[in-house]
């Protein structure tokens, strides 16, 4: 089952790309709800390079590592990666309103398709807000 989420980020492509791939930025935007946060992130953005994000409940009750390996990278256009036995594709497309970021990922059997779509969309929406906030503060 492939699940697709997307958002439009009203920012220059270079800023969208940098914010999506910078560990410091990832720690700021990578959460599906206000009661979660990412406490650590690493990025080796190249085919064969690895990535990891430590996601934790802010109350300390639960945490997990989201990690995998990049399989294809085309700067400012595409990131493909594998995580466990699943894969994801992140596409960046410049448009008249900004950059559309689309993530297509393999669903998993534990949670419903709707739960997965909602969680991944929330993270992507946080990403768009983060980039907008960074640009407003500069």
Residues 60-93 have pLDDT tens digits of 999 999 999 999 999 999 999 999 999 999 999 9
Report residue 108 as tokens: 């998993």
Chain segment 88-128, per-residue pLDDT in tens = 999 999 999 999 999 999 999 999 999 999 999 999 999 99
* Predicted pLDDT of residue 20: 98
Positive or negative: CA dihedral 59, 6, 101, 112: positive
Cα 76 to Cα 38: distance, rounded to the nearest angstrom: 24
Confidence of residue 136 (pLDDT cuts 50, 70, 90): confident
Q: Cα separation of 97 and 88, whole Å?
A: 25
Number of domains in the chain: 1
d(CA 77, CA 84): 24
Residue ranges of the alpha helices (H) in 22-112? 23-29
CATH number of domain containing 28: 3.30.530.20
Domain region containing 92: 2-137
Q: Are strands 86-95 and 78-83 parallel, antiparallel or unpaired?
A: antiparallel
Which of 117, 86, 120, 92 is CA-nearest to residue 21? Answer: 92
Kindly give, in sequence order, each residue whose CB lies less than 8 Å from that of residue 53, ignoring residues fewer than 6 positions away.
Answer: 26, 27, 30, 38, 40, 41, 65, 66, 67
pLDDT confidence of residue 135: 83
Between 136 and 88, residue with greater pLDDT: 88
The Cβ-side half-sphere exposure at 93, using a 13 Å CA radius, reads: 11
pLDDT of residue 137: 84
The whole-number pLDDT of residue 15 equals 96
pLDDT tens, position by position, 9-57: 999 999 999 999 999 999 999 998 999 999 999 999 999 999 999 999 9
């Amino acid at each position: 089952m492939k699940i697709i989420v997307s958002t439009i980020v009203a920012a220059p492509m270079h800023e969208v790309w940098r914010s999506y791939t910078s560990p410091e930025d990832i720690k700021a935007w990578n959460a599906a709800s206000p009661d979660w946060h990412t406490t650590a992130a690493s990025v080796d953005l190249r085919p064969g390079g690895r990535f990891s994000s430590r996601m934790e409940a802010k109350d300390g009750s639960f945490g997990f590592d989201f990690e995998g390996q990049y399989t294809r990278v085309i700067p400012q256009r595409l990131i493909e990666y594998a995580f466990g036995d699943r894969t994801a594709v992140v596409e960046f497309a410049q448009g008249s309103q900004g950059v559309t970021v689309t993530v297509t990922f393999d669903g998993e059997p534990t949670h419903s398709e709707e739960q997965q779509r909602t969680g991944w969309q929330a993270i992507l929406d946080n990403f768009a807000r983060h980039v907008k906030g960074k640009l407003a503060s500069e």
